[in-house]
Amino acid sequence: MANNDSKKYKLGMIGLGTMGRNLLLNMADKGFSVTGYDKDQKMIAKLEDEGKNHNLEGFDNIENFIDSLQTPRTLILLVPAGPIVDSVIAELKPLLSKGDIIIDSGNSHFSDTNRRVAELENDGLHFFGMGISGGEEGARFGPSMMPGGDKNAYNVMKDIFEAIAAKVNNDPCVTYIGPGASGHFVKMVHNGIEYAIMQLLAETYGILKNGLGYSNQEIHNVFKKWNEGRLQSFLLEITTDIFPVKDTETPNDLLDMIKDEARSKGTGKWTSEVSMELQLPVPTINEAVTNRDLSKYKALRVSLEEAFGKKDSKIDISIDDLENAFYFSMISAYAQGLHLLVQASKEYKYELKLNQIAKIWRGGCIIRAKFLEDIYQAYDKNNSLEHLFGDAGIQKIIKSTLAGTRKTVAACVSSGIGIPAFASTLTYFDTITSARMPSNLIQAQRDFFGAHTFERIDKEGVFHAKWN
């Protein structure tokens, strides 16, 4: 008896945790016929309860689940990155047919996505990686999505993705990123920028609390005012909302009861690793990664403070100076991440359109911010722009914030307040805007001890000197 595909589901979700379940509910809200699979009956029960208005059905039997889908079948995986993705794919392959589509929407490393694209292509299956940002709320009501890989496979899903994506000026925050693992690469860099901005916010909190003596309520008020202006962003908004929350077990603010050891899932580290492989510096992101690691050495930090003495961290800067320093450093964090995308596009032949990436980051994602409109306009005007600092409009903003940045960094360094992200960002700017660096000495040193040769400024060629 022939299958009646008209009565079958358009898409199946594998993994009904928070993200997978909310994406399915989002799709159902938009009128799409979708279903999900999970080995955990509790997850299926949650889907069916939360989706009762749409009569959403879930499966715990993978054969029945696959049979319920229209052909060619389209599957989204939202399972933990790494070996679990390969395990799920191995379980699926015997049940699928040529032309079926698998979409990995977890935070997979882009190199794993490259491998899976090649392996599944040999089996006649379409595979592409799609980064999703926005967390639980974004998945439910409109995320930013970064799909890359098989463009024909993307076009099959385009109507669903555009329907469920966040909207800014009626533009959906999703676009075809490019070939190969470009979607997961762009999401990885997004997460690196996210790390950097979170670190900058943490350092700003430290300056306000320890350098200026502000209370949590006063810091809340400062951040709230900033978020109403040019710094408006999702990360600043949620940070603002953290400060007034009271602890349920003590009379204190909850923030003051949280241990100062930061965790991570590794995506920021991946950005740093790739930047070094591509020989393109992203120091603000690197410092954010490093300081999450450094925060874990709590006992060592306590003992060393006892050994060297507690610092007198009071400083004299204005809130306007600090706001300028944060704006300057936030701009640089975006600029570094986008510069890495430019380099990766050349190296991996991704053919990335930076204006479209900036456009879909304006809404739905964790790093969405008012400033992304400026970034979009800069790359829309010149999509071959090598570095964001090269745009005339961005240059005006940077020049207007530079004095406050220098004053803030100088005051903190003089008073012993650790501001690794702020300091490295300013040093990055001063170096990348210098026509001549002292790196000629390094080349002379290398040639002296290892005969590694050097180039000259007055003629072409490679040279070696008899230094001693």
Burial class (CB in 10 A: 0-12, 13-18, 19+), 7: exposed
Consult the annotation and say whether 210 binds a ligand: no
CB atoms within 10 A of CB 465: 11
Consult the annotation and say whether 138 binds a ligand: no
Consult the annotation and say whether 109 binds a ligand: no
Say how far apart CA 195 and CA 261 lie, in whole Å. Answer: 15
Consult the annotation and say whether 107 binds a ligand: yes
Consult the annotation and say whether 265 binds a ligand: yes
Q: Are 359 and 171 in contact (CB under 8 A)?
A: yes
10: CB partners within 8 A, 6+ apart: 32, 33, 34, 69, 70, 74, 160
Phi, psi of 96 (to 5 degrees): -100, 165
Q: How far apart are the first and last CA of the chain?
A: 88
Consult the annotation and say whether 191 binds a ligand: yes
Consult the annotation and say whether 134 binds a ligand: yes
Q: Is 351 a catalytic residue?
A: no
Single-letter residue type at 467: W
What letter does residue 388 receive in the DSSP assignment?
G
Whether the link from the prior residue into 72 is cis, omega within 30° of 0, is yes
Which of 285, 289, 316, 326 is CA-nearest to residue 428?
285
Consult the annotation and say whether 292 binds a ligand: yes
Consult the annotation and say whether 452 binds a ligand: yes
Name the catalytic one among 187, 269, 359, 407: 187
Q: Is 194 a catalytic residue?
A: yes
SS3 222: helix
Say how far apart CA 17 and CA 19 lie, in whole Å. Answer: 6
Consult the annotation and say whether 324 binds a ligand: no
Name the catalytic one among 194, 203, 287, 323: 194
The three-point CA angle 400-403-407 to 5° equals 150
Consult the annotation and say whether 415 binds a ligand: no
**Annotated binding-site residue numbers for substrate:** 107, 133-135, 190-191, 195, 265, 292, 446, 452
**Annotated binding-site residue numbers:** 107, 133-135, 190-191, 195, 265, 292, 446, 452
Annotated active-site positions, please? 187, 194
